Amino acid sequence: MRIKTNRKSGFTLVEIMIVVAIIGLLAAIAIPNFVKARTTAQKNACVNNLRQIDGAKEQWALENRASEGAPIVKADVDSYIKGQREPLCPAQGAYTYGNVGVTPVCSIAGHTLTN
């Protein structure tokens, strides 16, 4: 003779609430770190773009015998950059090339090329 046991398996409401609370806590800790990492990556990419622009300006100036402070032709300088065009700031900023010997700048504060 068999005894029938009516056993239901599953999670209680308290257990589910604890799991949801733990996931919420982990998300509250992780999301600001993801945002900070994205901002830092955008800044680094922008600084590398500024470095490329500066190198292209210097190479253009050498080949065209432009002196310090001479105005540049942006389209000509862009031909020295990989892809033959102005790089785009990942944070939606705009680049100002400046004259020969002047460090290029980005319109986003904090995105600066330091020599």
Distance (Å, whole) CA 71 – CA 98: 7
Count of structural domains within the chain: 1
pLDDT of 14-60, one tens digit each? 999 999 999 999 999 999 999 999 999 999 999 999 999 999 999 99
In this structure, is residue 25 part of a structural domain?
yes
Tokens of 82: 């990989």
pLDDT of 48-84, one tens digit each? 999 999 999 999 999 999 999 999 989 999 999 988 8
pTM, rounded to two decimals: 0.76
In this structure, is residue 73 part of a structural domain?
yes
Q: Which amino acid is at 39?
A: T
pLDDT of 87-97, one tens digit each? 999 999 999 99
Q: Which residue has the tokens 């904090």?
A: 110
In this structure, is residue 113 part of a structural domain?
no
Domain that holds residue 67: 14-106
Distance (Å, whole) CA 105 – CA 113: 7
Cβ-contact 54, 104 below 8 angstroms? yes
Distance (Å, whole) CA 63 – CA 42: 32
